[in-house]
Amino acid sequence: MKKIYEPEFNSRVALHALRGERTAAGIAERYQVHPNQTMASPHKSPVFRP
């Protein structure tokens, strides 16, 4: 089953990814998502999609 994330959660993850303060793996661990979902590329990341 596909998990749907709230817009507020998406925003937090996106800001961390765009700031570059942590690696994708670090962000993924913090928010318990797959590292591919933390990429700063909107067309590749489900977290960035509305």
| Domain count within the chain | 1
Answer yes or no: pTM beyond 0.75. Answer: no
Task: Classify residue 13: in a domain, yes or no.
Answer: yes
Matching residue, tokens 């590292």: 35
Task: Classify residue 30: in a domain, yes or no.
Answer: yes
Task: Classify residue 1: in a domain, yes or no.
Answer: no
**DSSP symbol at 1:** -
Task: Classify residue 2: in a domain, yes or no.
Answer: no
What is the CA 41 to chain-centroid distance, rounded? 10
What is the CA 38 to chain-centroid distance, rounded? 3
- What domain range is 43 assigned to? 7-48
What pLDDT sits at residue 7?
87
- Quote the CA–CA distance of 38 and 35 in Å, as a whole number: 5
Helix (H) or strand (E) holding 34: none
pLDDT tens-digit readout, 3-49: 888 889 888 888 888 888 788 888 889 989 888 777 654 555 555 55
